[in-house]
Amino acid sequence: MQTSQTLAQGGSQAGAPISPARAVSRAVIHLVEFAAAALLVAEVGILLCGVIWRYALDSPLVWSDELASALFSWLAMLGSVLALLRGEHMKMTAVVKRWSPAWQAWAQSVASLVVCVFVAMIVVPAAHHASGQMEISTPALDMPDGWRAMALPVGAALMFCVAVARMLALPGIRARIAAIVTVGAVAVALWLAAPALLAMGNLNLLVFFVALVAGAIVVGTPIAFAFGIATVSYLTLVTHAPLGIVVSRMDEGMANLVLLAVPVFVLLGSLLEMSGLARSLIDFMCALLGHVRGGLQFVLLGAIFLVSGISGSKAADMAAVAPALFPEMRKRGSDPEELAALLAASGAMTETIPPSLVLITIGAVCGVSISALFVGGLMPAVVATLLIGAVCWLRARRESAASAARAPFAQIARTFVVALPALVLPVLIRVAVVEGIATATEVSTLGVAYTLLFALAARAAGKPVPLRRLYRMLVDAAALSGAILLIIGLATSMAWALTRSGFSGQLVDMMQSVPGGKTGFLLVTIVCFAILGSVLEGIPAIVLFGPLLFPAAHALHINDVHYAMVVILAMGLGLFAPPFGVGFYAACAIGKVSPDGVGRRVWRYLLALLVALVVVTFVPWISTGFLSAAPSF
């Protein structure tokens, strides 16, 4: 992975003079990083002030949401630029890594060129879109909406510059020439085949949205740009729709204020680790359960369950817990590959725990109450946790007795007191949403403020809290959020194209006509989303197919929250299952073990997850039994 620093330096040796071009490149990178970090700070401050003024001072700030929405578009686009700079856009590299170095160089060049071509095609339409939005004024601030929409052409232009720079920085002139020939040949072939594609009717969707997307993803093109190039190719060659539609749909998908919870919860996950809250939670659970046979496996499950309610990001969950717990588990004789398998399964089992980013995404793009999703997601996760815990217990019976001594009551009490702030935070988040104190977006800022206050208090008490890391955490949160939000924006454009083609209606009719009625529909949903989860990851799969399938489920009288839990658990199963699941490889990387050995051990845990999925699917009460407590936002 090439970092922004590497791109800026262009591989120059330490101490070598920096050329003016590199100096300008480095200055632009630092400017984008600073702007993204500042925007995230501003967003947190604006939303937090909105909560305080509305609920504490009873004087709502009528302009707060409007300003937050305008700044959010800039945060999303600059975050996307940062993600491209740092090579952090979501992509599949499992296939490319098996190729020879020469073929890998070709694939990298093709992927970079696809990004260049797509961004170049939308820069001008994005500028026209922003110009058109200048005629619309916002109601509270009376500000031209074009100032918000200008984020799209500015972000697209910056991404084009980054993509060209990355393309030129790749080694091997032959690989770049071969990539240009390959992409050019595909473009010419599609252009010549346009009359035949038009005559095919909706079968041409297989060419653009299956073959072209799959081909782009296989060579390592980021998923967002694979969606984008397929959509613009389809609109250009077989429709009369202008490319401005791609930009307007992209703007609509990324501008939803509900999605502002994504960067704030990602930031909260980083603050959780920096403040020491995650470590204190693990210390308490180790003192409580560390002496029992297989106790640390239960500690891992419990820690992931609790931390998932705080960070909202599964990668952040695993990264916060594993480094603190794995060394002690290895000391006690645990197999590192077994630990990684358990970590992958625990990541999948907590996909429904609020404030999961997938829950927030479903609420935003499928029109489901986020507060209801937050309430309905807890019991399915409990069922999955208990079943994986049963697998851990059965394995522990074959192990030798635990060597660690039972912790004295005084130690348990002391670690409990230290961990109490960490235990209170997920309760605070859930109560604030369920009781209507704050929306899902606003409650994320309450969590950030709570964690920062704890970190400052701990630092004042003499504990080593590295606040100097805060700036890098803001930049990291902006980059990760930009990668997620760009997928949502371009998947929204792709979903519009599929809807315009009539495919959505055909899909709904097909799903509704599956033999078995509601039962058959749910079983097909499990299979489809398990496959989609392994290939596309959760968020793009939801954005692309959620708006198509949720209406079909509703027509079959399936509760939206219940259907969401089935979809999320099925995607989690695919996301963490080898050989394609991206989450599986993330767990192996965090555990620092080879995926080869982990693949043989993870299946017993995934079987338990499958059983949990079946139980949740056919016992709807698990998802809907407590919904009367959830207000609607």
pLDDT at 631 over 50: no
Query: If you ran DSSP here, which 8-state letter would residue 559 be given?
Result: -
Each residue's pLDDT tens digit, 321-357: 666 666 666 666 667 777 778 888 887 777 788 767 7
State residue 317's pLDDT score.
Answer: 63
pLDDT at 54 over 70: yes
Which among 356, 326, 328, 358 has a CA at the least distance from the CA of 342?
326
Please give the Cα distance from 423 to 414 (Å, whole number): 14
Mean per-residue pLDDT, 610-627: 89
Each residue's pLDDT tens digit, 11-38: 444 444 555 656 767 788 889 899 999 9
Which among 568, 593, 563, 565 has a CA at the least distance from the CA of 578?
593
Confidence of residue 113 (pLDDT cuts 50, 70, 90): very high
State residue 590's pLDDT score.
Answer: 66
User: From residue 612, how far is each of 196, 385, 453, 566 by CA, in Å?
Assistant: 47, 9, 38, 10
Please compute, for residue 101, the number of CA atoms within 13 A of its CA located in the half-sphere on the CB side.
Answer: 3
Please give the Cα distance from 105 to 374 (Å, whole number): 44
pLDDT at 210 over 60: yes
Please give the Cα distance from 340 to 24 (Å, whole number): 43
Point out which residues pair with 137 in neighbouring strands.
144
State residue 13's pLDDT score.
Answer: 45
- Here the tokens at position 207 are 């060419």
Please give the Cα distance from 498 to 223 (Å, whole number): 17
State residue 191's pLDDT score.
Answer: 93
pLDDT at 189 over 90: yes
**In 463-488, which positions are buried (b, 16+ CB within 10 angstroms) versus exposed (e)?**
eebeeeebeebbbbbbbbbbbbbbbb
Point out which residues pair with 144 in neighbouring strands.
137
pLDDT at 181 over 90: yes
What is the domain partition of the chain in residue ranges? 4-9+19-255, 257-469+502-633
* Percentage, residues of the chain above pLDDT 70: 82
Confidence of residue 613 (pLDDT cuts 50, 70, 90): very high
Q: Which residue is associated with the tokens 């090439």?
A: 2
Mean per-residue pLDDT, 124-147: 87
Mean per-residue pLDDT, 622-630: 75
State residue 245's pLDDT score.
Answer: 87
State residue 3's pLDDT score.
Answer: 42
Instruction: Give whichever of 23-27, 206-210, 611-615 has the largest mean pLDDT.
Output: 611-615
State residue 433's pLDDT score.
Answer: 66
* Of 287 and 4, more confident: 287
Please compute, for residue 547, the number of CA atoms within 13 A of its CA located in the half-sphere on the CB side.
Answer: 20
State residue 75's pLDDT score.
Answer: 92
Query: If you ran DSSP here, which 8-state letter would residue 208 be given?
Result: I
* Of 132 and 465, more confident: 132
Mean per-residue pLDDT, 602-622: 89
Q: Are 371 and 629 in contact (CB under 8 A)?
A: no
pLDDT at 185 over 70: yes
* Of 575 and 251, more confident: 251
pLDDT at 4 over 60: no
Mean pLDDT of the chain: 79
State residue 290's pLDDT score.
Answer: 66
Query: If you ran DSSP here, which 8-state letter would residue 171 be given?
Result: S
- Backbone Cα Rg of the chain: 24
pLDDT at 214 over 60: yes
Helix (H) or strand (E) holding 577: none
Each residue's pLDDT tens digit, 346-403: 877 777 887 677 787 888 788 888 888 888 888 998 898 889 888 888 877 766 555 5
Each residue's pLDDT tens digit, 285-329: 777 776 666 666 777 777 777 766 555 456 656 666 666 666 666
State residue 55's pLDDT score.
Answer: 77
State residue 145's pLDDT score.
Answer: 85
Mean per-residue pLDDT, 83-108: 83
Long-range contacts of 393-399 (CB under 8 A, 24+ apart): 393/294, 395/294, 395/297, 396/293, 396/294, 396/297, 397/293, 399/293, 399/294, 399/333
Please give the Cα distance from 326 to 324 (Å, whole number): 6
Each residue's pLDDT tens digit, 475-528: 988 887 888 788 878 877 887 887 777 776 676 677 777 777 788 889 888 888
